[in-house]
Amino acid sequence: MTEEMDSKDADILERLRKDSRTSMGQIGDSLGISKATVSRRIARLESENVIKGYSLEIDPSKLNVVKSLLSLQVKGSSVSHVIEDLSSYKEVRHIYKAFGDHHLVCEVYTKDVEDLYEMIQSRILKNQSVTRIEVDILIERMVVDENADLKLYRSMNQLK
């Protein structure tokens, strides 16, 4: 980052996270700053990649799809090859590099458990670099604190 974030930036991020369609004027009014100031701050946060994009959250159960996490162990130095392979699967939404018991964690969507099993058996396990897969089928997402990251940032930087 080229400029240090302050508490107003964190306030803006919290409001955008709650509803990214909130107008700059509404954000400014709630924070006691001008719409132009909000606009400049958001533009800076975007250019510094603090804000990486805006998204829509969809409930997978309403689409009748199964959401799963696949945790993979990879042997050797071929993690990038496994990532490249997994990136070609239409079912894979996110791939996370991880530190711990697994090298990669993938967020996967399939139409049912049978399709998930088939994908694992016929495609993922065919990759000789994948040594183990653990599967977690996700039932329900419960947000405990959507701003835990911002609260930690504030506390580390003594921002109110």
User: pLDDT at position 36, please?
Assistant: 97
Q: Any residues with CB less than 8 A from the CB of 14 and at least 6 apart, and which?
A: 147, 150
The pLDDT tens digits for 43-77 are 999 999 999 999 888 888 889 999 999 999 999 76
- Rounded to whole angstroms, the Cα distance separating 113 from 101 reads 24
Per-residue pLDDT reduced to its tens digit, 22-31: 999 999 999 9
pTM for the model:
0.79
Q: Write out the H or E segment, with its range, that includes residue 46.
A: helix 35-47
pLDDT of residue 8: 95
Q: Which CATH number fits domain 7-55: 3.30.870.10, 3.30.750.24, 1.10.10.10, 3.30.360.10?
A: 1.10.10.10
Q: How far is CA 41 from the centre of its chain?
A: 22
What is the average pLDDT across 134-148? Answer: 93
Q: Residue 158's pLDDT is what?
A: 85
Sequence ranges of the domains in the chain: 7-55, 60-138
Fold of 60-138: Alpha-Beta Plaits (3.30.70)
Q: How far is CA 82 from CA 86, 87, 92, 148, in A?
A: 6, 8, 13, 31
